[in-house]
Structure 1
Amino acid sequence: MWHGLWTVVDESDRAQWGYAPLEGVGPLSFGMSSQEAITAMEAQGYTCDAVSQAGEFGPFKQLCTRFRAVDAPMYREDSAGSLRVDVVGYYVGPMGLTCVTVDALSGPQVLLDGIRLIGRPPSELSAELSIYLEKTGRRIEITPEGDIGSEALGVYPRAQRAGDVLLTRLVFGRPNDWANTMYDCIPVDEWRIH
C-alpha cells in the first residue's frame, strides 16, 4: 500500500507473531540478552546491523538492536532517510530485553488473542482493546496521546504517520522489572518516531 512517500507493507506480506503479555513478542522474550535476541531474530529471517547504546537508566547502560527483514527492499527508508527497521529491541543492563517496538509500516503483525495490533487506524485498535480489556476484567487506561493501552498487558500503542494516515506502532514492555509504568520504560529514541 502506498501513502505518498510512506510504503506500507500489505497485511498478507507481514510475518505473523503472537504476543504473550509481559513475557515476549514473537521470537523475543523479555529478559534475553541482545545476542540471544539477534540469534532468535536471524532464525525468523531478520538481520541486525549493529548493537548500539541508546542511553542510560540509572547505573545501567541501555542497548538497542534494530532488526529488518532480510528480504526487505534496500530502498525502503523512513521519513529521515535512514533504512527503515521493522523491530527494535531495548535492553537495560543485567535485566536484558525490557522493551520491543514494532514498526507500523513494515513490522510483523502481532496478535493478542486474535486482535491485530500493528498497522491499524488507532481508533479501531482502541475500540477493540477497550472491549478486550473490559471482557477480561482489566482496567482500561488512556495514554497521554489519547490511545487505549494497558499496564497489565504491557502494551503502549503509538500513532505512526503513513502520509495522511496514522497507523498503530506498538511498544511492548515489562515495566515491573525496571520502570514504574509503561510510559516510563519507553526509550527516548522511540519518542522521535512519528
Structure 2
Amino acid sequence: MDAGAEDRERWVLDPLVGVGPLRFGMTPEQVSASLGGEVPAEHRTYHPFPAGTPWETQGDPTEERLTEERFEGAGVRAHYRGWEEGNGPLLTAVTVLGRTGPQVLLGGIPLIGRQLTAVEADITRYITDNDLGLRFVCRGDLEVYGLGVWVRSARVGDTTVSEARIGAEQWEEE
C-alpha cells in the first residue's frame, strides 16, 4: 500500500447500495451533508438541449444538468443521473480517489491507493473464489461484474495507484 494508506479513513462498501456515508439515490444536498457539509470544489454539468443543434427544440437550451461533483476533502467524486426519469440529479456512482480517498475494502481487499497490479491480482482471486464475473471496460478498468465495482488507476507523479468507482445497479461505466 502507499505510505499513507494506514492513515486513511475506512469506508464500508455495500455493493449496489453505497459506500461509506453515501447511499445511491441521494440528492446533491444530501451528499454534501453526509460528507460533513463539505462544499464541492468543482461541478460538472451539461446542456441536454444546446442552442444551434437539432435538440434545442426538445427543451430549454439554457438548462444545465449536474453530472459530477468533486469533494477534495473527502477524496471522492459524486456522479449523478436521474434526469431521464424526471427525478433531477441523484447519486448513482462514487469514485474514491486513489491519492486522497478513504480506504474501501471488498471482501477484505483494500481497493484504494495500492499498486494497480496487486489489486488486480487480489480481485482476480476474489472473483475466482466467489464464482463472480470479470469484465474490462473501454478504458481498461477491471469490473467485478454484478457488484458495481470498478478498479481504476490514478496518476501520482511518475507512477499510478489504484482507485475505485462504486456504482448503483443502473450505473453503466463508459
- Of the candidates 93, 96, 117, which is equivalent to residue 99 of structure 1? 93
How far has the Cα of 1:49 moved from its partner?
3.5
Residues 134/145 of structure 1: CA separation in 2 closer, same or farther (3 Å cut): same
Check if 1:110 corresponds to 2:110: no
The answer on whether the counterparts of 1:48 and 1:65 sit within 8 Å (CA) in structure 2 is no
- Of the candidates 60, 64, 77, which is equivalent to residue 88 of structure 1? 77
Determine the structure 2 residue equivalent to 1:37: 31
How far has the Cα of 1:165 moved from its partner?
1.7
Check if 1:49 corresponds to 2:53: no
Question: Aligned partners of 2:26 and 2:113: how far apart in 1?
Answer: 26
- Of the candidates 143, 156, 181, which is equivalent to residue 150 of structure 2? 156
Determine the structure 2 residue equivalent to 1:76: none
Determine the structure 2 residue equivalent to 1:62: 66
The aligned amino acid for 1:23 is: V
TM-score by length of 2: 0.77
Determine the structure 2 residue equivalent to 1:18: 12
The aligned amino acid for 1:66 is: R
- In structure 1, runs of 5+ residues without a counterpart are 2-7, 70-84, 185-194
The answer on whether the counterparts of 1:52 and 1:65 sit within 8 Å (CA) in structure 2 is yes
Question: Aligned partners of 1:13 and 1:57: how far apart in 2?
Answer: 42
Task: Kindly report the root-mean-square deviation, in angstroms, between the aligned alpha carbons of the 2 structures.
Answer: 2.6
The answer on whether the counterparts of 2:142 and 2:152 sit within 8 Å (CA) in structure 1 is no
Q: Deviations over 1:124-171 (max 9, x none)?
A: 111111111121111122233444322311112221111222101211
Question: Aligned partners of 2:11 and 2:38: how far apart in 1?
Answer: 17
The aligned amino acid for 1:123 is: T
Greater share of residues in helix: 1
Question: Aligned partners of 1:56 and 1:101: how far apart in 2?
Answer: 23
Question: Aligned partners of 1:117 and 1:99: how far apart in 2?
Answer: 16
Larger radius of gyration: 2
Question: Aligned partners of 1:25 and 1:90: how far apart in 2?
Answer: 13
Residues 86/150 of structure 1: CA separation in 2 closer, same or farther (3 Å cut): same
- In structure 2, runs of 5+ residues without a counterpart are 50-58
Identity %: 31
Question: Aligned partners of 1:49 and 1:148: how far apart in 2?
Answer: 28
Residues 118/137 of structure 1: CA separation in 2 closer, same or farther (3 Å cut): same
